[in-house]
Amino acid sequence: MLTSLSLRLRIFLFFLFIAVVGIGLVGASLLIGFSRLDPEAPGAAFIFAGLLSAFGLLGLVAGVWLLFDENVAKPIERLAAAMRTRAHAGVDVKLKEDEAKYLGDLAPATQAVTGQLTQSTMDAADAVAAETARLATEKDRLTALLTEIPIAMILVSPSHQIVLYDGQAAEVLRQIHTPRLNASIFDFFREQELLEAHAKLKETGAEVSFRAHGTKGKLAFDARLKPLSGAPGYMLLVDDTQAVIPASHARPLIYDFDLMDQALPRTVEDQPIAQMNFVVFDTETTGLLPHKDEIVQIGAVRVVNCRIVPGEVMDQLVDPGRPIPPASTKVHHVTDEMVKGAPDPVAACAMFHEFASGAVIVAHNAPFDLAFMKRHGASAGLNWDHPVLDTVLLSAVLFGASETHTLDAVCDRLGITIPDVLRHTALGDAQATAEVLCKLLPMLTSRGFTTFGEVIAQTRQHGRLLQDMN
Question: Hey, which residues are catalytic here?
Answer: 424
One-letter amino acid at 209 equals S
d(CA 402, CA 78): 10
d(CA 109, CA 116): 11
d(CA 263, CA 258): 11
d(CA 162, CA 98): 50
d(CA 398, CA 385): 26
Q: Could you give the angle at the alpha carbon of 366 between the alpha carbons of 361 and 369, nearest 5°?
A: 95
CA 255 to chain centre: 21
d(CA 221, CA 203): 23
What is the DSSP code string of 91-113? Answer: ------GGGGTTSTTHHHHHHHH
Based on its alpha-carbon atoms, the radius of gyration of the chain, rounded to whole angstroms, reads 30
Nearest to 166 by CA among 248, 94, 251: 251
Residues 6+ apart with CB under 8 A from 436: 364, 391, 395, 407, 410, 411, 414, 416
- Give 363's strand partners: 390
CA-CA-CA-CA torsion sign (241, 243, 245, 249): negative
Task: Please say whether the beta carbons of 182 and 208 come within 8 A.
Answer: no
d(CA 226, CA 238): 11
d(CA 356, CA 371): 16
Residues 6+ apart with CB under 8 A from 440: 89, 391, 394, 395, 398, 414
Q: What is the H or E stretch that residue 127 is in? A: helix 106-148
Residues 6+ apart with CB under 8 A from 250: 143, 144, 147, 167
Residue 377's SS3 state is helix
d(CA 146, CA 303): 24
Residue 372's SS3 state is helix
DSSP state of 434: H
- Give 221's strand partners: 212
